[in-house]
Amino acid sequence: MNNYLLKQFWRNKAYILSLLLLFFAGLMAIYTGKKFLDKNQDIIAKSASYQKQSIDKTVKYHSDDLGLILYYLKFNLVNETPRLSALNIGLRDINPSIQGVTIRNLEEQRYNSDFYNPANAASGNFDLSFVLVFLFPLIIIAFCFNLISEEEESGRWKLLSVQSKDLGKLIDAKMLIRFIAITAVYLLLLIIAKVWVNIPIDGNFLAFAALGWLYLSFWFALCRWIISFRRSSGVNALILLVVWVGMNFIVPMSSNIFIQKNYPVNESLDAVMEQREGYHTKWDEAKKPTMDRFYKVYPQYKNYKVEETASSSWVWYYAMQHMGDLESSRSSVNYRQKMKMRNEAASVLGYIFPNIQLQMATSALAKTGMENHLEFAEGLKTFHENKRLSFYMPIFSGASSQTIDWNALKVEYFETSDRMDLLKMLLPIISLIFLLLILSQFKYRKLC
């Protein structure tokens, strides 16, 4: 019987065409991800050359003033992009993987390209995750929606009920063939992606593969449950398509509106405005209050005094810049906290909707999600402070630009913590699969 069912499946040209279309869509998605990754790596490679050229040119034309040199110079921090990000681009297309900052105020530089809300980024990148979330379920629905109803509508069901002792096993055998075919396409795409993009086979890649396979299994389990009610083919298809549309469009959009309403984020703009106001007002104020606050934060620079009558002073200028950052620090902290709260709210939805869980979990594995964005923001803050403090002393003491080893100033790299909670990632989808299998099994017992 199984050989007959297998031949029946492969002789159906519509099924073969569907698998081929799915395969080619996956290839295009891998190509898109690879192009994105190559472009990203090219920008990072060029940034090192650009930074060196910028340093050489600035030092050449302003060699007599170290403070002025460092006023212009930007130092680049790279958010390392793993090869796995080619399969899930996530937020990396709108949040740059490299950011350059001067030793002046940070908040304005941090949010120069961040007036939008990063949580609004859609999962619309045509990468393998997109194909997995949106296209694979459609093919699964097309394969499975009429496994029972077709037999009943053609009049073969009564004949099968006489010839077969267990119709449930017959339907499961047909579904298993489709499951193996879909799984084969998925695994073949992963193998091609691994070779083509040169993705290392590590824990993150294996977890990505497991999450994708479980997501496909969820849709087969859902189809098994829906068809077990023995409704007509049209009703089964309609129900499954409504679920697909609801999960992939209605729920994400409505939840996004809900999250935005409950966690409004205006702090990035507030931080920029507060920083600018805090910085610009210092020009019209006495220098002593600014310097007193600066000395309180950095007592090691107390020996560098600034007179009220001084027409210009790099000590006061950079102190003034940092005070602008301090005055906007509350908005900056609130911004990051709210973004974390938004991300946590979306994570809760992942326990109910496997498509959201898959997108969030795979973006975390590929380091292209909101967690990575926020961690990089913290890393940029530390990077900026280290740069400032390393140059304050030479600037304040009036050191010559020749005392600085400019060749040692290379592009630096930020590495995020590689935390992976497999149970938290896999358990929600596994639980839903088992629930659907149990519910459908109760219905299968009544098949006759």
**275 within some domain:** no
**333 within some domain:** no
**334 within some domain:** no
Determine the structural domain holding residue 26 and report its residue range.
1-263+371-448
Task: Return mean pLDDT, the chain.
Answer: 88
Which residues, at least 6 apart from 240, have a Cβ–Cβ distance to it below 8 Å? 141, 145, 222, 223, 226
* Average pLDDT estimate for 170-182: 94
* Average pLDDT estimate for 39-65: 92
**279 within some domain:** no
413-425: pLDDT as tens digits: 998 877 778 888 9
Number of domains within the chain = 1
327 versus 147: the higher-pLDDT residue is 147
Asked if 70 and 95 count as a contact pair (C-beta separation under 8 A), the reply is: no
**403 within some domain:** yes
Which of 115-119, 266-270, 357-361 ranks highest by mean pLDDT? Answer: 357-361
pLDDT above 90 coverage of the chain, percent:
60
Which residues, at least 6 apart from 290, have a Cβ–Cβ distance to it below 8 Å? 282, 316, 319, 320, 323
pLDDT at 218 over 50: yes
What pTM value is reported for the model? 0.90
**Confidence grade of residue 276 (pLDDT, cut at 50, 70, 90):** low
101 forms beta bridges with 75
**Confidence grade of residue 211 (pLDDT, cut at 50, 70, 90):** very high
**302 within some domain:** no
250 forms beta bridges with none
119-135: pLDDT as tens digits: 333 445 799 999 999 99
**421 within some domain:** yes
**253 within some domain:** yes
